[in-house]
Amino acid sequence: MNSGTSAGAAVRRTPAALMIAAVLLLLLTQLVMVVREGEVAVVTTFGRVASAPRTRAGLYLRWPWPIQTAHRFDARVQVLEGGHEQTLTRDGRPVTIALFATWRVADPVRFLERVGTFERARRNLNGLLGHWRNAVVGRHEFEALVHPDPAALKLDAIESAIAAGAAPEARERYGIELTAVGIRALGLPPAILERVFERMRAERAALAETYRAQGDAEATRLRAEAEARREQMLAQAEADALRLRAEGDAAAAEAYRVFEEDPELALFLRKLQVFEQTLGRRATVILGTETPPFDLLSAPPTRGDAQPK
């Protein structure tokens, strides 16, 4: 009987113990604030900032709600991708530009007071970047954004100018640090795009014409050099031919002079030449020794015949 009574009392105490444990756990969660890695927390007392932001991960004591409230924010770098917005260049050309930006919460207290949520922060940043995009692009000509020569583009300078203008305002107004700003996409209205293509085609055609003119000039120069070299070689060849002809004529004149002084020697040499030409081909010739020039084989020439008179 006593055993049953004890068991019933124990069963009745179990729900009460669980309720007490739940109340203690709830009270503990209200008294302890957990800050995770990559987070920053701001504690407010009746809506006012009570202490410095908690930037290190760990457990912190606080008063339960509604006395104190913990506001946690992601302290990691965030990415903002803006939409396509149309703006005008300094020369009145319409262009559509989409920006991107990376940012993080740099001043948690100011961020809480001025912004409060990441969604609102994105809207505010998008508006601030749009203002500076219009201002910076409006100071540049259309060719700074679209040009066939990469050296003429000013996209890096435009991105730097937008970041330089928007970053101080983002920190001052919203407690946000802009870590990077860039152009994500660049577009043109269809009419402007067609004119750009026409201009690019015209510039390419002019460049091709310049290259063709340079090629024609180089070809003309090479042909002129080749023609001059040809004329020089022909002139040199004619001069050499005239010199050799003169030398040959001089040698022939000397030979004629010698032959005129000794006609028999000239006849003898002529017979030897015919004799050499006839027998030098291994030909068989049947002629009498009295037939010139084979008469040289009949008997050796006399002293009077061999020596010139």
pLDDT digits (tens, 9 = 90+) for 172-201: 999 999 999 999 998 877 766 677 678 778
Three-state secondary structure of the chain: CHHHHHHHHHHHHHHHHHHHHHHHHHHHHHHEEEECCCEEEEEEECCEECCCCECCCEEEECCCCCCEEEEEEECCCEEEECCCEEEECCCCCEEEEEEEEEEEECCHHHHHHHCCCHHHHHHHHHHHHHHHHHHHHCCCCHHHCCCCCHHHCCHHHHHHHHHHHHHHHHHHHHCEEEEEEEEEEEECCHHHHHHHHHHHHHHHHHHHHHHHHHHHHHHHHHHHHHHHHHHHHHHHHHHHHHHHHHHHHHHHHHHHHHHHHCHHHHHHHHHHHHHHHHHCCCCCCCCCCCCCCHHHHCCCCCHHHHCCC
pLDDT 10s digits, 201-241: 888 888 888 899 999 889 988 998 898 888 889 888 888 88
For residues 85-104, give the mean pLDDT. Answer: 91
Average pLDDT in the chain: 80
pLDDT score, position 20 = 73
pTM of the model: 0.54
Segments making up each domain of the chain, as ranges: 2-73, 78-188, 265-306
pLDDT in tens, 244-256: 888 887 877 777 7
Domain 78-188 has CATH 1.20.210.10: no
Q: Return the minimum-mean-pLDDT range out of 74-83, 180-189, 213-222, 278-287.
A: 278-287
